Amino acid sequence: MYSKAHGAISLALGVALVAAGVDSVHPAFVVSYATAIGVLVDLDHFLWARYNTGDWRALRYVLGTPRAAFTDQRSIFRERDLEPLERLLSHVVIGGIAVPLTWLVEPDLGLVTGVTLYAHVLADLVEDVRELRVIR
């Protein structure tokens, strides 16, 4: 799933969490934070691509062509750069660390982190299942 979709889902979740009563931090922060972590968690893809290929080609490409991150995400990674299960594995590890840490700072922030990262992983899984069905 691409960043625009993750951003839209995370934005909607941030608004829903504010509407549901998450109010110990400013509502605008809740929405912004949910949107940001829902998109930025995908930066782990660059680490996987580096690990799998031995070079930083994907990161250099985005730094040299930043518009690709917004207009042509399909061009960033090659097929051998990262596998769906690797991507999901690191998302789960990130969530397992980020949720308790943010909960310790502020329980509502931990809730926002957990809900947003859960939705991100779920959206990726739905997209992966959809792609598998197309292949068959």
pTM of the model: 0.92
* Straight-line distance from the first to the last Cα atom of the chain, in angstroms, rounded to the nearest whole number: 19
Mean of all residue pLDDT scores within the chain? 94
Q: Which long-range contacts (CB under 8 A, 24 or more apart) does 123-131 make?
A: 123/1, 123/5, 123/6, 123/9, 124/1, 124/84, 124/87, 124/88, 124/91, 125/88, 126/1, 127/1, 128/84, 128/88
Q: What is the mean pLDDT of residues 54-82?
A: 92
Q: Which residues contact 33 (CB under 8 A, 6 or more apart)?
A: 14, 25, 109, 112
pLDDT score for 71? 87
pLDDT of residue 134: 83
What's the CA gap between 70 and 38, in Å, rounded? 15
**Number of independent structural domains in the chain:** 1
The dihedrals phi and psi of 67, each to the nearest 5 degrees, come to -65, -25
Domain span holding position 97: 5-135
What are φ and ψ of residue 124, in 5° steps? Answer: -60, -40
Instruction: Determine the pLDDT at residue 62.
Output: 94
pLDDT at res. 133:
84
pLDDT in tens, 72-104: 888 999 988 998 899 899 999 999 999 999 999
Would the pLDDT of 32 be above 80?
yes
